[in-house]
Amino acid sequence: MDLNRHEFELDDLIERIKDNDNRLVALQVPEGLKMQALEMMDAIEEDTSARIILAADPCYGACDLVHDKMQRMGVELVAHMGHSQMNIDSGMPTEFINVTYDGDPAIDPVLPILSAHREIAQKRLSDSLNEGEMSEEEAQERFMDAVGRVAPLKGAKLGLVGSIQHLHLIFDYKERLESAGFEVEVPVGGARLSFPGQVLGCNYSGDSDDIGHYLFLGSGDFHPIGLVLHTGKPLAMLDPYTGGAEEMSFQRIEGILRQRFGLIMSCDQAK
């Protein structure tokens, strides 16, 4: 991962610190960006009169706030880096700072996966139309996703989603994929999702029955696993950091979950 290709939008934060004459500000940063935390702290301190401290506890999302600790330390403002606001009342002033990455991977590596997934989605759609109405119990028995979710399809569109630092690319990639012959939908989720195409580890509310398969623009397994488990729909991944493409299959998820449960059992049995 080339951290120098991240853009940290600090101007609004610096102006807010100056306007409010804040003297002690805490910077909360996701794990993947902590290598650049000192650089950001120096940049803010150079342009303001504030002292910047780092909230070094692990940070896993916009809901993972450290405000109780910061208030006890006399912090006046928390700058939360790299996550979008979730409309949570944190109890103290908070500035959410956008972080974007300028990676621009070609879509060619992922097109064969998407074509195969489109065929799966079209077959599911055709089968559901030919079978007519099913009871909820019958649908639960026949639908083979990992959580038994009932999700009949009404379309086979490609749903285009991504993690927060890549969402500025979403509509450009929508045009590219449409030029490649795909019918693309950028889903819009609930109130806790700030941007079209955004998914969180706990929120996939943008899913619709018009979407038959997904492309995730981002890195890591966390969001793709949740989306597949929630929807039971095929998902391909395009990594802006490496340009690589792969799919998140149920077989892969099963292997990951087996490892996790094995570690949990080992810890539970430890003395």
In this prediction, residues 89-97 reach a mean pLDDT of: 79
Whose tokens are 């989306």? That residue is 227
User: How many domains does the structure of the chain reveal?
Assistant: 2
- Who has greater pLDDT, 188 or 1? 188
- Whichever domain contains 55, its CATH number is 3.40.50.11840
- Residue 139's pLDDT is 56
Q: Are 223 and 212 in contact (CB under 8 A)?
A: no
For 114-172, the DSSP string reads HHHHHHHHHHHHHHHHHH----HHHHHHH--STT------S--EEEEEE-GGGGGGHHH
- Who has greater pLDDT, 238 or 154? 238
Please report whether residue 48 resides in a domain.
Answer: yes
Please report whether residue 9 resides in a domain.
Answer: yes
In this prediction, residues 86-106 reach a mean pLDDT of: 81
81 and 116 together in one domain = no
The size of the chain, in residues, is: 271
CB neighbours (10 Å) of residue 184? Answer: 19
Q: Given pLDDT bands bounded at 50, 70 and 90, which one contains residue 8?
A: confident
96 and 226 together in one domain = no
Residue 111 DSSP SS3: helix
117-160: pLDDT as tens digits: 999 999 888 887 776 666 666 655 554 443 444 467 888 999 99
In this prediction, residues 152-175 reach a mean pLDDT of: 90
Q: What is the DSSP letter of 212?
A: E
DSSP H helical segments within the chain, as ranges? 11-20, 37-47, 67-72, 111-131, 136-142, 170-179, 222-231, 250-269
Please report whether residue 97 resides in a domain.
Answer: yes
The chain-wide mean pLDDT, for the chain, equals: 83
- Whichever domain contains 184, its CATH number is 3.40.50.11850
139 and 169 together in one domain = yes
d(CA 264, CA 137) in angstroms, rounded, equals: 32
Which residues constitute the domain of residue 253? 108-259
**Which one of 51-65, 80-94, 126-140 scores highest in mean pLDDT?**
51-65
Q: Are 228 and 215 in contact (CB under 8 A)?
A: no
**Which of 183, 180, 186 is closest to 216 using CA atoms?**
186
190 and 116 together in one domain = yes
- Residue 93's pLDDT is 85
Q: Given pLDDT bands bounded at 50, 70 and 90, which one contains residue 258?
A: confident
- Residue 147's pLDDT is 42
248 and 181 together in one domain = yes
75 and 113 together in one domain = no
The domain boundary, picked from 44, 73, 101, lies at 101
123 and 235 together in one domain = yes
187-227: pLDDT as tens digits: 887 766 667 888 876 778 788 889 999 999 998 888 898 88
Please report whether residue 270 resides in a domain.
Answer: no
pTM greater than 0.85: no
- Who has greater pLDDT, 98 or 1? 98
- Who has greater pLDDT, 177 or 35? 177
29 and 123 together in one domain = no
- Residue 150's pLDDT is 47
59 and 7 together in one domain = yes
Backbone angles phi, psi at 247, to 5 degrees: -115, 155
In this prediction, residues 169-198 reach a mean pLDDT of: 88
d(CA 248, CA 257) in angstroms, rounded, equals: 13
74 and 129 together in one domain = no
d(CA 76, CA 16) in angstroms, rounded, equals: 12
Please report whether residue 84 resides in a domain.
Answer: yes
Please report whether residue 82 resides in a domain.
Answer: yes
The domain boundary, picked from 76, 101, 126, lies at 101
Please report whether residue 156 resides in a domain.
Answer: yes
Please report whether residue 266 resides in a domain.
Answer: no
The domain boundary, picked from 72, 101, 130, lies at 101
40 and 90 together in one domain = yes
- Residue 23's pLDDT is 94
115 and 96 together in one domain = no
